[in-house]
Amino acid sequence: MKITVCTFVYNSYGVFIPRWLKSVQLQTYPAHEIIVVLGHNHGIEDIPSGVKVIHYEQPATMGFLRNLAVDLVTGDYVFFVAADDILFGNALQEISNVNTDIIALRYYQENKIRVTPEITAERLVEWRKYYIGACGYWAFKKGLRHEDTNCASYPLLLQAYKKGYTFKMTKNPGAVYIQRPGGYGQQIENRKHGLKEIEKYLLAYGLTQG
């Protein structure tokens, strides 16, 4: 299985890239390729060699930026990981052990410790007690594209469901979901706006009558 790991960076998220990239490069099951999309106000001065870089420095939605990476993927599976999140060394191995169209990687949730870019792997042991047994990271077979929206993950899963894709979760967790104060994911998904976006695509894919 060839897994392409992708992320996009905007609004000064570039400060997290060294930590993110290290967690990808230290995988026991190597990534087929790594793609980083540099969006508006990304804050990155230098990207190490061996990483595919896409420049699009105009304001754009998360879905649009993700599709820029999707268009260049040469692996079998596309795996997006937010630039401020952390992969354990077993993440890609866990994904490769599952045979299905969309593979959901179980994760730990950091929901009390507030994280800064300086926090290192020594703190990861503290996060284990916050394991929630759910999944929030998806590796999917090529053939899906994101909608042009900031609430990009849910429409992708709805689209996959509509197309008859199969879903499975990994046996073990392989990532840490970082909750930063004011993080965009929290703003979009935990508000009425995020719910309206989901409802819009449920209607668009014919999965609800409204």
pLDDT at site 35: 95
In this structure, are residues 177 and 85 in contact, taking their beta carbons and an 8 Å threshold?
yes
pLDDT at site 92: 97
**Pairing between β-strand 102-110 and β-strand 131-141 as defined by DSSP bridges:** antiparallel
pLDDT at site 91: 93
Q: What is the pTM of this model?
A: 0.80
d(CA 194, CA 6): 23
pLDDT at site 41: 72
Q: Tell me, what DSSP letter sits at residue 143?
A: T
* Residues in the chain where the model's pLDDT stays below 70: 43, 109-136, 178-202, 205, 207-210
Domain residues of the chain, as ranges? Answer: 3-150+160-182
pLDDT at site 112: 42
The strand pairing partners of 104, in sequence order, are: 138, 169
The angle at the Cα of 48, spanning 42 to 50, to the nearest 5 degrees, equals 115
Q: How far is CA 185 from the centre of its chain?
A: 11
CATH superfamily to which 3-150+160-182 belongs: Spore Coat Polysaccharide Biosynthesis Protein SpsA; Chain A (3.90.550.10)
Tokens 């976006």 belong to: 197
pLDDT at site 130: 41
